[in-house]
Amino acid sequence: MSEVSQIPDLDAPRALEPATRSRASLLKRLTDVACLPTSRINAFERAMTADLLVELLREASLAEREKAARRLILLNEMPGPLVRLLLRDELSVARPLLTDAASLTDADLIACLYHTGMEHRRLIAQRRGVSEVVTDALIDMDEDVVTEALLRNDLARLSHHGVEHVVAATRDAPHLIPLLLRRAELRPSHAYVLFWWADAEARRGILQRFAVSREILQDAVGDAFAVADREDWQDPLARKALEFIDRQQRNRAAVAKSPYESLEAAVAAAQAGLTREIAEEISYLSGLKPMTGAKIFNDPSGEPLAVLCKATGLPRSAMRALWRGLGRQEVDRGGALDHALERALMVYDAIAVDRAQTVLRYWNWSLTSGLTPALLKAIREGDETAVDEYSAPQRAAMLALSRDFGR
């Protein structure tokens, strides 16, 4: 009987050992070559080595992939296919590269964040010096954990678009507000939108930091008012800018059309009950759009009311009159001043007239013509009934404005 051919059993552990050792040895040697300094290996040789490494690493064990990733951290120029493979691997493989590899490019990081999970993106957000391009992509993923990591990273750079997106997101993620208020990239236009859904402490911080004087602008463009007046204020852009800068908050022209002889008279009438008609008249006399007035009067906390009164030169008693007209509680059961009214009066006492005017004009501008669709949507969400309370056409106008800005 002829002898049967001895074919090795590839499933047997003993048969596997030499192959495993040879592969591990080859993987180590190729990694050594890939990590050689540029004085000993050129770019083409490193790329060729990387191509071989990619093929081996696809089938390598997790421990081997982790070891290779740790060794490649210090490379000044990491071949693209190898980077993509390791960054999209398990978190334990990608972590050392995402945490410590300085040579990763924006393209590497963006490719990684779109093809991995939230923990990979959180590690990217924690990297030193993350660029605006990468932070924009991270923020657009709308993951609170990742956004929080970005806001905590003082070395990450946020773009104007990125900050706007985060501002809009804070409506549903209020825990991000204190972190966002720390950022140097936050601008007054962002902060005064954020104000509407911020808590009392955050509102106080916004008013302290962003309620700036317009004195330098007033000194710089003082002669422009006379020029615009000679032209009968025909240029709408110039008129809008000068209205923002002007020292005078009240609309003197509105008095001639109003049934009230002054803003004080309108406030006195409001004390018996703030109707839609009186609210609109107070808005016009204060130099505001009715939309802005509606937002101020509907705010339950009262700080915007304090800003309105201080900016327009109304006395402290006017605050109490409007509070009463809105039907709000002035004292608690123990006879002490209501907390919301007390906070509002503190804001009135603390803020200067010029700075209050800056805040008021930012609100008037942002609620009518100064917002991107994301911020308009953030302001509008959950607040449509408040606008309806004063004027249905105003609600329609706001919806139309948001569509216009989306074009």
Domain boundaries, the chain: 248-405
Q: Tokens in use for 86?
A: 């390791």
Nearest to 129 by CA among 95, 94, 104, 165: 104
Strand partners, 107: none
Nearest to 151 by CA among 115, 176, 170: 176
Cβ-contact 286, 250 below 8 angstroms: yes
Q: Tokens in use for 98?
A: 């995402």
Cβ-contact 303, 347 below 8 angstroms: yes
Q: Is the pTM of this model over 0.85?
A: no
Q: How far apart are CA 21 and CA 9, in angstroms?
A: 17
Q: How far apart are CA 313 and CA 287, in angstroms?
A: 12
Residuewise pLDDT in 10s, the chain (407 residues): 444 444 444 344 444 344 467 777 888 888 877 777 777 878 888 788 888 888 888 888 898 889 888 988 878 777 788 889 999 999 999 999 999 988 899 999 999 999 999 999 999 999 999 999 999 999 999 999 999 999 999 999 999 989 989 998 998 999 999 999 999 999 888 888 889 899 999 999 999 998 888 888 888 888 888 888 888 888 888 888 888 888 889 998 898 899 999 999 999 999 999 999 999 999 999 999 888 898 899 898 999 999 999 999 999 999 999 999 999 988 877 778 888 899 999 999 999 999 999 999 888 887 655 455 665 666 656 444 444 443 333 433 333 333 333 33
Cβ-contact 218, 224 below 8 angstroms: no
φ and ψ at residue 39, rounded to 5 degrees: -70, -15
